[in-house]
Chain A
Amino acid sequence: MVGYTIIGAGLAGLSLALELRRLGGVEAEVIEYRDYVGGIHSIMPETKGFINEALKEVSTRLITTAVRINDAIYAIWRGGYRRLTSNVIVATGGFRVMTLPELGIYGERPAGIYPHHAVLDMLHYDLLPGKDVVVYGDNQYALSLARELMRRGVTVRVISPTKLDTRDMDGGIDIIVGRVRYVKGMGGRVEKILVNSEWVAADTLVISMFKPFNPFPEFRAVGQAVIETYDPGIVIESGKIMAGELVNRSGEFMVIDSDLPIYPGNRVSRDVRRVIIPCRDVESWLMVGSTSLVMMLQLLNYRTPIR
């Protein structure tokens, strides 16, 4: 029996570890860079239940980080390290935050421009990124961060390139539809932010626009490290699917012929019978409310030749 090392105790990593146990008692250790679990979902009330349940069964190791040093990858903790080898490691690092040049944000680089995750950590340490904060994001993570900052007495505006669905929010969030274009500083700190063609005074800009990111492409990845989904349910599902792939008892595979990206890949085990097809642009076609449409194909009746 193999023991797996799973990088990142977010929803995907926890779900994967949990499912591995449930499928056949396969042990996995989840390593986590932070001193808390949950990652981007740590402040989302709706996922607390799942995380707490998972922690009862799964062993996590906090303040333990996977790091690339030239061509090798190591798990490093306070007093030691070990090299991570072979295909037993699954990266579940989650989203990365998009860079300013990727987003077309120009201007200066004063203090007070923070990626989303840096602010999650600040909140965890009882620190605030500023008093007058602009959150730039088009997703529910941006909204939940804005809500959390407001709860702590910060003035917050959310800038989103697209219209946001705020039905579930407890109201009161000031949302401007537009693009952040330019940042100006004063004395070394953010002073104002150009949104479309208007200046918004603020001391902080938080970037909550994301991209899937697997820092270790040599390892298999689950969750938001590979799938652009904003639905926690799908993140959890991806962990389950990967667990099924890893355990794969029948050893039989099928190949799905498709132009669309398929998670966990075009070649899937017959046992799993589920794949995820992330496609952002067809939401209207399927009339699903989420920004990232993810379709779960039940492969029961969907047979293609085995190659």
Chain B
Amino acid sequence: MSYDVVIIGSGGVVGLFIAYELAHYRVRVLVIDKEVEPGFGVSKGHAGVIHVVQPPFNSLRSKLAVEGNRLYDGIARRLHVRIRRLNALLVAKNPAQLIALPAVWLILNHVYGKRGFRIRILGPRSLRRVEPNVSGLGAIEVEGYGIINSFELISQLYNFCRLNGIDFALNTEVKDAKILGDEVALITSRGGEYRAKYVVNAAGLYSADIARLFGDEYKLEFGKGAMLVFWGGEQVRNIVAPLQLIPNPKTKGGAIIPTVFGTTIWGGPSLSMSDRGDRSVNEDDIDVLNEKFSGLLRNRNFTPIKAYAGVRPIPEGDDFVITYSRSSKHVIHLIGIESPGLTSAPAIARRVVEMLREAGVVLTPKDDVKEVDPMIMTRDIIEGGGSINDDQGEVICPCMGVTRADIREAIKRGATTLDGVVFRTGLGMGICQGMCLGKAIKVISEELGIDPRKLTKLGDDSWLVTR
């Protein structure tokens, strides 16, 4: 099969955004991913924050984050994805930090303020008003952040692409690549071969490996971030982190983050690690989170429901690398798209499209771009007072109110696994952490028309039940 552009690793938010941009033009595009569904790579483990300026402030990473941030409201509206704008607060816990607030303001105002993100100093009373549950003497408030339902984002991007003629080869790993004059041949794990005039390497943690297939060497290190998710009530209204005057690499970064689901995430600092496949969370990771965040809250009576970890690819030089291959302008590498890759993804995609154009891809706009429908769940219909019929109201997950009809809709939108349904519906994400799974496994299998023994959590050997 021959394509104009093949994107490797389009299961991630970056690859999907590139495909989304290309879906507006008359080009034949294929996206290849080794996972069974989009969003199962790095993009599975993040916190869903739309960031602002990033240190170092003159980096490409910071520039693209700011550009991406500004694009998100429009994208969320168009794709019907839940997004909420909020601020970030750096909280002063002791008098020394309180005294330092004006100096911190001055520095941050220089870098943030210049790019249009307003910075304010909050005294104790304002802090109390803005964040009743946060204990502190004062804070620096930065405007312009956002939180997004990243699962919905991935799902809607995927559907937009499918609707607009982009091909997907999932569960397919790129094993080898050859540049043959003006064409690239990609050999996959399934024994297939794809031809493409242009290739975009957006393989996340594996981007350096893919680059190597083209003779390009990059060094990646890996950093793990642990997250603890809480149920029950609002801990904070904005993104809240302790102010740190003297950086301590062990506790740098991370924040208390509200989510669009009503849960709260304590996101930890990035710790270096050697094994990029390791998503485990250890007692130490949780201790670090407790040490860092529990002192910030007045009421801490919230139930932790889940701990998970995400792995970031950290490039040499600590900046995104977006470049043509040394051997050909027909290959574009995206290396080390670490945090805030979600934020930057729309801007990265536009940049890549420009690079493709410059390399010779003819991009003629389509005049019949189709739009995606919002995912309407049974609970939305009930909330709006609408009527439900047939078996629409058969509830499978009581905590989140997910019904059989919702599962059917998730499948229509591309879910083939349990996690695919979970991402699209929120099933099992409540406080009981899957007391409904027995019923869910049965119903998802029925709706997919497969034996429950064939259903997996997320592909591979992640089988769920036997007989």
Contact = CB atoms under 8 A, between A and B. Distances in A.
Do A and B form a real pair?
Answer: yes
Interface of A: 33-34, 63, 65-70, 72, 74, 76-81, 96-97, 99-102, 104, 106-112, 114-122, 124-131, 182, 184, 186-189, 213, 215
A233 to B, nearest CB: 24
20 contacts: A76-B378, A76-B388, A79-B388, A80-B393, A81-B388, A106-B282, A106-B285, A108-B279, A115-B433, A115-B435, A118-B434, A118-B438, A118-B439, A127-B438, A186-B461, A188-B457, A188-B458, A188-B459, A188-B460, A189-B462
B466 A114 contact: no
B111 interface: no
Interface stretch (B76-84, B150-158, B207-215, B394-402): B394-402
B467 interface: yes
Given A96-B435, A188-B456, A79 B279 contact: no
A107 B280 contact: yes
- Nearest 4 CB-CB pairs, A to B? A121-B438, A188-B462, A187-B461, A111-B457
A127 B439 CA distance: 10
A96 B304 contact: no
Contacts of A121: 436-439, 442
Contacts of B461: 186-189
Contacts of A124: 438
Nearest to B457: A111
A111 B387 CA distance: 36
Given A67-B401, A125-B442, A189-B463, A109 B308 contact: yes
B435 A79 contact: no
Contacts of B304: 99, 101-102
B392 A122 contact: no
B379 interface: yes
Interface in B384-422: 387-395, 398-399, 401, 403, 418
B228 interface: yes
Contacts of A129: 465-466
Interface string B288-328: 00000000000000011111100000000000000000000
A72 B379 CA distance: 11
Contacts of B282: 106-107
B465 A122 contact: yes
Given A81-B388, A110-B462, A187-B461, A99 B279 contact: no
Contacts, number: 167
A100 B307 contact: yes
Given A108-B280, A127-B466, A65 B398 contact: yes
Contacts of B379: 67, 69
B391 A106 contact: no
A117 B438 contact: yes
A106 B307 CA distance: 8
B383 interface: yes
Contacts of B460: 187-188
Contacts of B353: none
B205 interface: no
B383 to A, nearest CB: 5
A76 B403 contact: yes
Given A78-B393, A99-B433, A101-B305, A215 B399 contact: yes
B326 to A, nearest CB: 36
A102 B303 CA distance: 7
A63 B457 contact: no
A77 B388 CA distance: 9
A39 to B, nearest CB: 11
Interface string B185-215: 0000000000000000000000000000000
Contacts of A74: 382
A128 B438 CA distance: 9
A121 B443 CA distance: 12
A63 B391 CA distance: 10
Contacts of B434: 114-115, 118
